[in-house]
Structure 1
Amino acid sequence: MVKNFIIVGTQRTGSTALYHALNFHPDIACGGEWTQSIPWYKKIRIAQQALRGDFSGLTPRNQERIGKVFHEQTQWLGFKMLFRSSDKWFFHPRLAPALKLDQLENCLSWIRQHAHMHVIHIVRRDAVDWLKSKYLASTTGLFTIEHYPEDLKVKIPLHEAVKRLRAKNWIDHRLATLAQKNPYHQIHYEDFLKCNEEMILSVVQFLQCDTTRTEPIEYGLQQKQSTGEASDYIANYDELVSELERLNLLYSPLNSSYHVQ
């Protein structure tokens, strides 16, 4: 019987590189954001259906991608589900319309109801680097693999940045509560970037697969889209860092990896 896992996190945390890397193991088939383009009221139903091996409810592109890696010998089938860190909220991030559409709380309840579903939570801790990635991707429309123009500069609105970060941190804390009910493994984007193979092996071990069968990962999947430092791309870098430092938001409070089974 095929077992299931799910990669969770917020956007711009390296989840694309992670899911592609997992597909280099012959026992693992990992899909992308299966529910991203699905109407909110269908997200969980389509996800359940796909995790049973029926991919008919997915977009043609997602069907094609999972069809290339899913086979009769597949032991683990999963996908990634990301949640938006919107600045469009009042009083509390949980009230953001984006999270209602993403079905965050309903997804958490659904995952908890499936106690054997393994959860891989990827967290990006460096707030400035995350904001840089968020705004560069939005400005250029480049969301994976391709490098950002080296001469590009973005000015990040401080109030908007603070609200996005507070939403991100709250979402990550909500996702971390899955450790109470499900086998849970947390990895950090920064560690994944520095020790790519080591982090992938930790996930393979978490899924109880043979680590010796992990194939080499394509070079491009291990590289950041930016070639310089955050200060090279952010026009108001000093002002941004000063404000985040004042509010104690420079780093995610989820500051230690842990693994619960």
Structure 2
Amino acid sequence: MFPNFIIIGAMKCGTSSLYHYLQLHPELGMSAIKEVDFFIEENNYNKGISWYQSQFQGDFKIFGEASPNYSKAHYFKGVPRRMYELVPRAKLIYLVRDPIERIISHYTHNYSEGREHRSIEDALQELEDNHYVMCSKYFWQLQHYFEFFQEDQMLIIPSYRLRDERRATLQQIFKFLGVDDSFYSNDFEQQMHKTNKKRRKGKLSRFILESPVIKTLKGYIPDSVKDPVKKAIRPEVTKPELSSATRVKLQEYLHADVDRLRTFSGLSLDGWEL
């Protein structure tokens, strides 16, 4: 069994929430793990097709997965080609968010995980080929799929619509996927991964939390146990503020890409800074 649709990103745009909501639909079977990353050579591609098929189990009309790393073409090469070779008729869903807000969220995530040690201003000193910025160049990322997939195989969803107009947005997605778009669950009202105060991993906490034993066990440990441990060993992280100069620099750098996304998608993207 192979997926009929794939959520290709973007990172920090609500892919975890959408994965959860789609799991609730009785006709949709989502992958056993959320971020399968199969089409990424450096990650799970070498595990083989049988391993990928094993991620899709059950009696469902269609299957899907969600791997935000699929829209990091500057970092992981060849994803659209591998995807097309295996599932050429798959439908693609791309969640997007205000590019600058996504960059701040991405930076905060990396900083809290202990992978980023610079200030946000230092991290954005150079914008060309900057990982944070490239992940927010949504049209540029999509262009890598145009060579293989047709436009009618792609659906672009602004994350604010999934947050503020959830029922209508999910109906749009269900219709795009060809399943019952009248389905509704009270669990759709739950906002997944609502932003809480981030906590930064230090060397000790990284050593503890990323050890093979803890990685294996943490999926079975309830939050009531994990949360006090996190508070004890991880200091709080405050969301950083961009300087006016850096914000303007980002607006100017990303403006053309956002304009191309608007033209391609027909979306107004109201509320974005650019």
Q: TM-score, normalised by structure 2?
A: 0.63
- Where in structure 2 are the equivalents of 1:174-253 lying within 5 Å? 174-175=144-145, 178-180=148-150, 183-222=153-192, 224-225=194-195, 233-249=239-255, 252=258, 253=260
Q: Give the whole-Å Cα distance in 2 for the aligned partners of 1:214 and 1:132.
A: 33
User: 1:120 is matched with which residue: 68, 93, 101?
Assistant: 93
SS in structure 1 at match of 2:94: strand
Residue in 1 aligned with 2:42?
40
Query: Quick one: which amino acid aligns to residue 173 of structure 2?
Result: V
Query: Quick one: which amino acid aligns to residue 155 of structure 1?
Result: I
Q: Residue 257 and residue 222 in structure 1: after superposition, are their counterparts in 2 closer, same or farther (change >3 A)?
A: farther
Q: Give the whole-Å Cα distance in 1 for the aligned partners of 2:242 and 2:64.
A: 40
Residue in 1 aligned with 2:125?
159
SS in structure 2 at match of 1:214: coil
Instruction: Please state if 1:254 is matched with 2:261.
Output: yes
Greater mean deviation of Cα atoms: 161-170 or 236-245: 161-170
Q: CA deviation at 1:242?
A: 1.7
CA contact (8 A) 2:9 2:71 kept: no
Instruction: Please state if 1:81 is matched with 2:61.
Output: no
- Where in structure 2 are the equivalents of 1:28-177 lying within 5 Å? 28-31=28-31, 32-35=34-37, 40=42, 42-43=44-45, 46=48, 48-49=49-50, 52=53, 54-55=54-55, 70-72=57-59, 74-83=60-69, 96=74, 98-99=75-76, 104-105=77-78, 107-113=79-85, 114-124=87-97, 126-141=98-113, 155-157=120-122, 158-160=124-126, 163-164=130-131, 165-166=133-134, 168-169=136-137, 170-175=140-145
Q: Give the whole-Å Cα distance in 2 for the aligned partners of 1:211 and 1:226.
A: 32
Q: Residue 237 and residue 14 in structure 1: after superposition, are their counterparts in 2 closer, same or farther (change >3 A)?
A: farther
SS in structure 1 at match of 2:261: coil
For structure 2, the 5+ residue unaligned runs are 198-237, 268-274
4+ residue runs over 6 A deviation: 36-39
Q: Residue 71 and residue 81 in structure 1: after superposition, are their counterparts in 2 closer, same or farther (change >3 A)?
A: same
SS in structure 1 at match of 2:67: strand
Alpha-carbon deviations, 1:55-111, whole Å to 9, x = none? 4xxxxxxxxxx7xxx422x1111111222787xxxxxxx6x5x32xxxx42x21133
Q: CA deviation at 1:177?
A: 5.1
Q: CA deviation at 1:237?
A: 3.3
Query: Quick one: which amino acid aligns to residue 36 of structure 2?
Result: W
Q: TM-score, normalised by structure 1?
A: 0.66
Query: Quick one: which amino acid aligns to residue 120 of structure 1?
Result: I
Q: Residue 9 and residue 123 in structure 1: after superposition, are their counterparts in 2 closer, same or farther (change >3 A)?
A: same
Q: Residue 178 and residue 221 in structure 1: after superposition, are their counterparts in 2 closer, same or farther (change >3 A)?
A: farther
CA contact (8 A) 2:35 2:67 kept: yes
Query: Quick one: which amino acid aligns to residue 238 of structure 1?
Result: S
Q: Give the whole-Å Cα distance in 1 for the aligned partners of 2:104 and 2:250.
A: 13
Q: Give the whole-Å Cα distance in 2 for the aligned partners of 1:196 and 1:44.
A: 37
CA contact (8 A) 1:123 1:187 kept: yes
Q: What's the Cα RMSD here?
A: 3.6
For structure 1, the 5+ residue unaligned runs are 56-65, 87-93, 143-153
Q: Give the whole-Å Cα distance in 1 for the aligned partners of 2:40 and 2:182.
A: 37
SS in structure 2 at match of 1:254: helix
CA contact (8 A) 2:37 2:69 kept: no
CA contact (8 A) 1:9 1:82 kept: yes
CA contact (8 A) 1:108 1:175 kept: yes
Structure (1 or 2) with the larger CA radius of gyration: 2
